[in-house]
Amino acid sequence: MRRIAIIGAGTGGTILANALAKKLRTEVRGGRLEIVVFDGSESHIYQPGNIDIAFRGANPKAFRRPPTQLLSREVKLLKSPVSRIDLENRAVIYDGGAKMGYDYLVVATGSIAAPEIIPGLAQASLNFHRSQEDAVRVWEALSAFRRGRIVVLPALPHKCPPSPVEAVFLIDELMRKRSIRKDVEIIYATPYTRAYPAHGIADVVEPEMEKRGITTYTLFNIDYVDPAAKKVYSLEGEELAYDLLIAIPPHRGADVVIASGIGGEEGWIPTDKHTLKIKGHDDAYAIGDATDIPISKSGVVAHLEAITTAESITSQIHGTGKVYLYNGRINCPLEMGGRKAVFVSGTYVKQPERQNPSTTKYLMKRLFNRLYWTMLSGALEPIFNIYLGPPYEVKVVADDANKSP
């Protein structure tokens, strides 16, 4: 019996497993193929929900579900974290030393906020990226805040590029609702040259920030924080005092990637940006935040890479000679407060464009929060295909289906 092993039952791993189960149902039911997913977590977290938890006081329970509820019956979930990946011998080690071989592997282990990388940051700051509990702490601190300076401080790399800007706008909105905006100074200190890395989006965001009295510091790369003095220092030699520091800490890949020596010190797996194969391996893929692909670390990317990889593995198993190449499509909402949002959309070759913030886009984001759980099952894929088309190009590679182009 052949086996597809997927490490991680987050956004990418779940969508992939369900898509494979649909495409390869006959093989699985006939006992010729096994789809195994490894994940030790009790809950699958819908991470964009952390925005609602941190800035609107939403209940974290609304944004988590047990992984077993989300995976197709054809998928076998092993509730154990993988401790080592052995690409050379096509095996994963889990559960205190058990070893499982595979025919195809997909690493979908995500990324994690690591404030401890920067001296003083973990002690001095709150964040809404690492966990739901962290997001709750942000809400508690904002609710108790009366007057003074709030600094929002992203460090690179981090997942969800729009999230720091969303934080700034939603803090502004919250303080206005509480009628204390005049007593609160909001500062956004970004490592980029503009308030948003894509110029089309920066053109929209910057005037809004100015209008709302939000001060932006550009080219501010955090060096260290002095929690006692309540000051942040940048590599560029600037210092910034704060009363409340909300950081978007630098992220790194999963421990297992680092421990297995397949992603350098920071844990990003070298991955072909089109085939999504781990470089140098024809039977192993990486998707989502875990890769070193220069694209936003976002749920939408994990989703579209999962769809592309499901096609590729199915093609390899069926020997069709087709290769599926991800086109780098992204489509992330950016909330701007006041029930307005823009969509950061593009591909590997098309930069996000300037657009007017709209209530329709805001409502689409809210709707998506509800549709997420259904989307994991693959039920919405036909609709996405009608409106957006597939996120890949298909090439036929005669007699050589399994090779990267």
Ligand X SMILES: Cc1cc2nc3c(=O)[nH]c(=O)nc-3n(C[C@H](O)[C@H](O)[C@H](O)COP(=O)(O)OP(=O)(O)OC[C@H]3O[C@@H](n4cnc5c(N)ncnc54)[C@H](O)[C@@H]3O)c2cc1C
- C-beta separation of 310 from 289 below 8 A: no
DSSP 178: T
Angle in degrees, CA 346, 393, 342, rounded to 5:
15
Q: Considering only 1-9, 19-27, 347-355, 385-393, which stretch makes contact with ligand X by CB under 6 A?
A: 1-9
> Nearest residue by C-beta to ligand X?
10
Judged by CB under 6 A, the residue of 4, 5, 12, 345 near ligand X is: 12
Q: Which of residues 215-254 bind ligand X (CB under 6 A)?
A: 254
Q: Is the dihedral of CA 171, 173, 174, 175 positive or negative?
A: positive
366 part of the interface to ligand X, by CB under 6 A: no
Judged by CB under 6 A, the residue of 87, 150, 198, 332 near ligand X is: 332
Q: Which of residues 82-141 bind ligand X (CB under 6 A)?
A: 82, 108-110, 128-129
Structural element, H or E, at residue 77: strand 75-78
Q: What six digits make up the tokens of 401?
A: 């289906």
292 part of the interface to ligand X, by CB under 6 A: no
- Write the binding mask 154 to 193 for ligand X: x where contact by CB under 6 A, - elsewhere: -----xx--x------------------------------
- What residues contact residue 341 under an 8 Å CB cut-off, 6+ apart? 333, 334, 335, 357, 358, 361, 362, 364, 365
9 part of the interface to ligand X, by CB under 6 A: yes
Using CB under 6 A as the binding criterion, the count of chain residues that bind ligand X stands at 37
Q: What six digits make up the tokens of 19?
A: 């898509």
Which lies closer to ligand X via its Cβ, residue 171 or residue 290?
290
48 part of the interface to ligand X, by CB under 6 A: yes
Which lies closer to ligand X via its Cβ, residue 187 or residue 256?
256
Q: Give the C-alpha distances (Å, rounded to integers) separating 172 from 29, 152, 168, 177, 245.
A: 54, 11, 6, 9, 15
- C-beta separation of 375 from 363 below 8 A: no
Site of interaction with ligand X (CB under 6 A): 7-13, 38-41, 47-48, 50-51, 81-82, 108-110, 128-129, 159-160, 163, 254, 256, 288-290, 297-300, 302, 332-333
